[in-house]
Structure 1
């Protein structure tokens, strides 16, 4: 009988420990691709977004220069890279280190917050970025991903 009285607390401790140290993965955040209101393109393919963020596409269809931006890190940044660029943050950083070292490009301008990124995109001609906060469509436009 003494073992039975210890069994319930041990079982509860094991369940609580499992729940704390093995959390369920969070659901993916909704990522909005946004652009300056003057950008002529209102929709982009997955490949076009990937090419923009890998520095392979540098002009919009109207020949305007693309000014691409990114968040400096965090769940929204990681979700965007996974969904739209097909790379992890580590892979993305290494890709841009190589591009810089070989003189083949410059990484996106990065921002610490959604608000800073949106403010820059709203004021910069040809700018594109992403946010997990629903965008204010009076300041910027949401780009449809095909």
Structure 2
């Protein structure tokens, strides 16, 4: 990925309609967990230590909640509304624990388009392969906004 390279932006507020949806499937792998733990310096034994986790109600290591939030925000940045969008509010409920190596399906739906505030509201639900709901979220997102260049800068 070339960081300085211009990219196509996602949908603007005028291009988004209530009811638009997206489905994303992600598998939680060791490399993702290790990157998260290294990046955040999070040494919670519940995330990596099998001996400790066996002594808890979870019985085995679980995936950090913030990683699941990262999957949600990444899908918003990549797909709906897409590049250039900005999450301004995030409300999430972690319904069930997510374990290492699980595959999750995240379903996104635009439930409100507020052109006055230039924000859309997206409902998110994630389920595991047994179709158990593991996450519910409501995310407010500002779609990409470009400030029109003035004629002076075009000369």
Q: Do they fold alike, i.e. is TM over 0.5?
A: no
Using CA pairs under 8 Å that are at least 6 residues apart, name the structure with larger relative contact order, 1 or 2. Answer: 1
Higher helix share: 1
Higher strand share: 2
- The TM-score range, normalised by the shorter chain, is under 0.3
Q: TM-score, normalised by structure 1?
A: 0.22
Q: Which structure has the larger Rg over C-alpha atoms?
A: 1
